[in-house]
Chain A
C-alpha cells in the first residue's frame, strides 16, 4: 500500500477516535439536562422550556459525530448468517467489495446534508419554539458527523483491502 494511503488511514483513525472520545461524554450532558428539568418541574414547579429542543440537538450530534468512531470500534451489527463462517481473509474481501455500497449511501447522505445545511444558512432557518434557536450550528455538526463517517468508511475500505491481500496497514 502506498504511504499516502497509510497515513490517510492513520489520520482518519486518529481524527475519529478523538471526535468519538469527546462525543461520548455528551451522554452526561443529556442525563444532567433531563435530570435538572425533571427536578425543576416536579419539585420547584418551574418547567424548563428549551429542554426538548436542546436534547434533540444533543441526540443528533451524539449519534452522528460518534458514527465514525463507532465504525472504527466495529460496533455496527451485521447479519452474519454466512459472514461468520468465512475466513478472516474472506471477510475482508467481502467487506472491501460491499464497502462500495456503504460509501455510496454515505455520499448521498452527505450530499443531502450539505444541501440542507446550505439552505438553513441561506434563509436563517430557526426552530419553531418560543425561543427561536438557529438551526445552522446543529446542521453543520450533523453534516460534519456524516462526513467523518464517510472518511471512516473509506479508511475501513483500505484496511479491508490490505487484509484481503494479506498485508497490514
Chain B
C-alpha cells in the first residue's frame, strides 16, 4: 500500500469512527490498534501500550490534572461570582457593559486557569443567566461567552501551549509569554466590537436599571477587592514560573494550592467541595489523558507507516508550494479537521506532522505556537461542526438553540481571523514579550 493510501485510510477511518459517537479515545485507539496490527508488521501489537511509556516521560503533562483541579477549586471558591459582581456594578451604566464585564471576567479567569472549559462553564453558569435576565440579546451574549472562554488557552497559563511546547520542543515560558499580548489584543478587539455594536443597536445590551447599581461609592470601591485574589494567584503561579523561581510543574501545584487557600480564605473549603472537586478532576483528567494515550499511539503508527512522509512530500514536492502557502494551507486544514477532531486529539495527532515542517520552512516555532492556538480556537467555534459549539449547547439554558449558537459566533470568528492575520503579519506582537524577558 502506498504511503498516501495509508494516510488517507487511517484519517478517513478515524473520522468515520468519530461520527459514530463512540468515545473519542476509543475511536482513535481502535484505528491505531488495527493499523498497528495489520499494517506495521512484526511487533506492531506493542505500539498502543508503548504510548503509555511515552506519556509517562511527558512530565509537563502533570500540569493537566493540577490545572483541572485548580479550575474546579476556583469556581467553588466563589472568586468568579465576586468578580462578576464587581464588573456588574462598575460596567452596568454602559450599553453592553455586562458583556464587556464578561470579557474582562474571562481575561481574569484565563489568567488563573489553563483550559478554556473552565471559562465556558463559569461564563455559562454565572454571566449568561444574568445577562439574559436583563434583556441582553441572547445571540450576542452566547457569542461573548464562547469568544471570552477561548482566551483561556491563549492568556497564560495554558495547557494547550504546554502540550505544544512538548511536541515542538520549545520552552513553555516563552510560549506563555508569547500568548499574553495576542490574548489581551483579542480581548480588546472583542470589547471594541461590543461597544460599537451596542452603540449602533442599543437594544442588544440595555443599561442596567439604576436601582441595581446604586450603592455608596465606598461599597463600590470595596467590590474591587475581588480582584486581589486573582492577582495573587497569577503572581504565585505564572509570575513565579516565568521569573524562574518555580519549575513549570511545580507552578501548577502552587496554583492548585493557592486556589485551595483562596477557597479556605472565603470559607468555602468544605469536605464536600473537596470530594466533588477531586472526583471531577479525575474524570476530566482521565478523559484528556486517555485521548492523549490513544492519539500518541495513532501518531506513532501513522508516522512509522510512512504517512507523515506522504504528507510532507505532498506539500513540498508534489504541489511545490511556497512556505507561506503551506502555512496558510495548514491553518485551513486545522479548521476543516476541527469539525471532526477533539482539541487534544488534534494537537497530539496533527501538530507532530506540521510543527517540524513549519520549523524547517524557517518560521519561528514560538510565533507559530500562538498562531496554532488561535487557529484551533477558531476551528472549534466554526459552524456547522465545532467542539466548543456543542459544549456551549450542553451548558447553555434550553432557550438557546443550536442555531442561536451558530449565529452567535460569526462576528467573533471574523474578529479572531482578523487577529490571526495581524499576528501573522506582525510576529513582534507575539515575540516581543518573550524576547523582552530574555533580555
Give A residues with C-beta under 8 Å from B.
20-21, 23-25, 27-28, 30-31, 33-35, 37-38, 42, 52, 55-57, 59-60, 62-64, 66-67, 69-71, 73, 75-84, 86, 91, 94-95, 97-99, 101-102, 104-106, 108-109, 111-113, 115-116, 142, 146, 153
A79 to chain B, nearest CB (A): 4
| Other A-B pairs beyond A31-B66, A63-B285, A101-B26, 11, CB < 8 Å | A28-B278, A30-B65, A37-B250, A62-B285, A69-B286, A73-B279, A79-B19, A81-B21, A95-B21, A98-B27, A108-B33
A90 to chain B, nearest CB (A): 10
Is there a chain A Cβ closer than 8 Å to B264's Cβ? Answer: no
Docked Cα-Cα span, A47 to B53, in Å, equals 25
B contact residues around A104 at 8 Å (CB) = 30, 33-34
B328 to chain A, nearest CB (A): 26
- Contact: A42 with B249, CB < 8 Å? no
Give B residues with C-beta under 8 Å from A.
17-27, 29-30, 32-34, 36-37, 45-50, 52-53, 55-57, 59, 61-62, 65-66, 69, 245-247, 249-254, 256-257, 278-279, 281-287, 289-291, 293-294, 340-342, 385, 387, 390, 393
A contact residues around B27 at 8 Å (CB) = 79, 98, 101
B contact residues around A111 at 8 Å (CB) = 45, 49
- Contact: B342 with A77, CB < 8 Å? yes
- Contact: B278 with A76, CB < 8 Å? no
- Contact: A108 with B36, CB < 8 Å? yes
Docked Cα-Cα span, A55 to B247, in Å, equals 14
User: In chain A, what residue has the closest Cβ to B26?
Assistant: A102
Q: Report 5 cross-chain contacts, Cβ distance below 8 Å, ordered by A residue.
A: A27-B66, A38-B246, A60-B56, A102-B30, A109-B52
Docked Cα-Cα span, A106 to B264, in Å, equals 41
- Contact: B250 with A76, CB < 8 Å? no
- Contact: A101 with B19, CB < 8 Å? no
Instruction: Evaluate whether A79 and B18 lie within 8 angstroms (CB atoms) in the complex, with A35-B253, A70-B283, A102-B26 already known.
Output: yes
Instruction: Evaluate whether A108 and B48 lie within 8 angstroms (CB atoms) in the complex, with A24-B278, A79-B24 already known.
Output: yes
- Cβ-neighbour of A78 out of B22, B59, B289, B290 (below 8 A): B22
B contact residues around A27 at 8 Å (CB) = 65-66, 69, 278, 281-282
- Cβ-neighbour of B253 out of A31, A66, A82 (below 8 A): A31
B contact residues around A86 at 8 Å (CB) = 21
- Contact: B59 with A52, CB < 8 Å? yes
- Contact: A34 with B250, CB < 8 Å? yes
Q: What are the 7 closest A-B residue pairs judged by CB atoms, nearest first?
A: A83-B21, A112-B49, A75-B283, A34-B253, A70-B286, A102-B26, A105-B29
A-B contacts at CB below 8 angstroms, number = 195
A contact residues around B55 at 8 Å (CB) = 60
B contact residues around A70 at 8 Å (CB) = 282-283, 286-287, 290
- Contact: A67 with B286, CB < 8 Å? yes
Docked Cα-Cα span, A34 to B249, in Å, equals 8
User: In chain A, what residue has the closest Cβ to B391?
Assistant: A77
A contact residues around B294 at 8 Å (CB) = 105
- Contact: A35 with B257, CB < 8 Å? yes
B contact residues around A38 at 8 Å (CB) = 246-247, 250-251, 253-254
A contact residues around B291 at 8 Å (CB) = 77
Docked Cα-Cα span, A86 to B34, in Å, equals 28
- Contact: B246 with A73, CB < 8 Å? no
- Contact: B26 with A105, CB < 8 Å? yes
- Contact: B49 with A113, CB < 8 Å? yes
- Contact: A63 with B290, CB < 8 Å? yes
- Contact: A69 with B282, CB < 8 Å? yes
A contact residues around B49 at 8 Å (CB) = 109, 111-113, 115-116, 146
- Cβ-neighbour of A91 out of B21, B46, B341, B385 (below 8 A): B21
A contact residues around B290 at 8 Å (CB) = 63, 67, 70, 76
User: In chain A, what residue has the closest Cβ to B279?
Assistant: A24
User: In chain A, what residue has the closest Cβ to B44?
Assistant: A108
